[in-house]
Structure 1
């Protein structure tokens, strides 16, 4: 159980170690091949130290890795700003975003899939501006208007992952409380519900509502996110969001437990079709109120 940067170093190091062994090289042989000291290879592979994108390129070239998607992902984990030609736009907000949030956005920008359980608010990737503003203002008291504007901009910019080519695949289970809580007031909530209904119809989005009638369920302990990556499942990670930080779970047993919990929640939730009808019905009722 660690914080984001440490998880990324360890996962990147473990993947590079697997690629090295797959190439039939010992760490000593790899070090000689790239004219490094063996201890540098060891530190990188154990996550004991950070690694520059240029060094990752050197290792990937030495191991004969031509998979462009895998290279892009590993370079992104190393902090590259040119992976896939996509600039790390969130760097412009370094003065506003906590490091853990920046790391979350970095993982989100590279993930091929996201599974999320939400128990209180609409997922950030599906929030309308007014809803995002109300949530941010409530979460961070006394925030100056310019910083509030910046955080809302970031929330909306994150949504580009759903419009990328290929787009991220989003699976979300929403507790009914998410739909019933009037964040921002009735008019804002009505528009937010319509946005959810529109999103639920997208092929890359799967929304399911967990109704109150489901009673106590495995997700009542709190929301979480599971990021998955197309090139390798070894980089998958669970993120637990807290008031002042995010916690990252990387152990295989943790991932297995949270994936199984999410599968169980999907079983007990309304089907995507039923959920779409339910959300659309709530939006229609809100419009007529």
Structure 2
């Protein structure tokens, strides 16, 4: 299974191999012209090792690549891979976070746009702390309370990408089930829905709802996230979450299929303004129910059962 940095590394290697083929060179010939052993070229092309930006530049010179846009893209990809090894804010949680989750956060932090479909829970970037704690406790209840608190801290810290300069552009399509599933309590859920409306009103965030009344849709196959990165859509990655791991898809046919699926879903969903009104109405209903809980019926008088 390929995780975030490995995906970028492999994409870079595939493009460098393609440029070598265009130049009509074997990996051994490319290595000699670059002053390296053939094995270094092979490791770079298969993504088995990282590559420095200056090494990419040397290979591009060997292959006679002069296109400034392509050179800039590949060098930027090498820098992205190198930066992935530097300490980031989530390094403090390295003992707690599985490698797949760390790589997901890395992709999220580097992306310029994220498109996500959610069918079960509110996306992590839009969760309140209380909602996040309830969801985490339900999924990982065997963990000590302190560990759950740390995972919630990570989830809230991830949301800084929406306030970065420039911010991540987030487009979320939510099945109505996400809004109707009561998490923890009516109060917690109402607070979460109010937060959704607030964040969904930001210029960099778009939230759309797929109501039950619109029937079945392609999204019933499961949630997904599509990350897009600067310079080229060739770097886009689809992430599918599973119980114990995440699957990263980067083949062009996979990207095309999920992009088309997302476009279909957003076309069937309510427009953003109607979606926010829809969410607010559900939240208001929860607040009213929380303010006036149903009374427990008084048990009948024993004699009343004789009538």
TM-score tier, shorter chain, comes to 0.7 to 0.9
* 5+ residue gaps, structure 2: 62-67, 290-307
Task: Tell me if structure 2 keeps the 8 A contact 1:131–1:188.
Answer: yes
2-structure distance, mates of 1:242, 1:164: 29
Q: Given the superposition, is the C-alpha separation of residues 80 and 224 from structure 1 closer, same or farther in structure 2, using an over 3 Å criterion? A: closer
How far apart are 1:73 and its partner, in Å?
4.6
Paired residues for 1:230-249 under 5 Å:
230-249=230-249
Match in the other structure for 2:80: 76
- Name the residue aligned to 2:154: 154
Match of 1:4 in 2: 3
- The answer to whether structure 1 residue 182 and structure 2 residue 173 are counterparts is no
1:17, CA displacement in angstroms? 4.3
Secondary structure, in 3 states, of the residue corresponding to 1:143?
coil
* Paired positions, count: 279
What is the CA deviation profile of residues 20-76 of structure 1, one whole-angstrom value per residue up to 9, with x for unaligned ones?
A: 789x695556535653223212221122x121xxx4222244347798786455323
What is the Cα deviation at residue 7 of structure 1? 2.9
Question: What is the correspondence of 1:50-89 to structure 2 with a 5 Å cutoff?
Answer: 50-51=49-50, 55-62=51-58, 63=60, 71-81=75-85, 87-89=87-89
Asked if 1:276 is matched to 2:276, the reply is: yes
Q: Is the 8 Å Cα contact of residues 34 and 58 (structure 1) preserved in structure 2?
A: no
1:12: Cα distance to partner? 3.0
How far has the Cα of 1:146 moved from its partner? 1.6
Equivalents in 2 of 1:131, 1:262: separation in Å? 26
CA distance in 2, matches of 1:245, 1:81: 21
Pairing of 1:173-252 with structure 2 (within 5 A): 173-252=173-252
Can you list the C-alpha shifts for 1:65-93, whole angstroms capped at 9, x where unaligned?
Answer: 798786455323345455xxxx5221221
CA distance 1:92–1:213, change in 2 (3 Å)? same
| Correspondence for 1:39 | 39
- 136 and 15 in structure 1: CA distance in 2 versus 1, 3 angstrom threshold: farther
1:200 to partner: Cα distance: 1.2
Relative distance call for 1:8 and 1:72 in structure 2 (3 A) is closer
> Conserved in 2, the CA contact under 8 Å of 1:115 and 1:227?
yes
TM-score, normalised to structure 2, is 0.82
SS in 2 for 1:40: helix
CA contact (8 A) 1:12 1:77 kept: no
TM-score of the two chains, using structure 1 as the length reference? 0.87
Give the C-alpha shift of residue 241 in structure 1: 0.4
Alpha-carbon RMSD = 2.4
Asked whether the 8 Å contact 2:56–2:78 carries over to 1, the reply is no
Q: Structure 2 vs 1, CA of residues 253 and 287 (structure 1 numbering), >3 Å: closer, same or farther?
A: same
Check the 8 A contact 2:133/2:152 in 1, yes or no.
Answer: yes
Q: Contact 1:132/1:155 (CA < 8 Å) preserved in 2?
A: yes
Deviations for 1:213-249, whole angstroms, at most 9, x for unmatched residues? 1111101011111111122212111111011111111
Structure 2 equivalent of residue 266 of structure 1: 266
Q: Which is greater in Rg?
A: 2
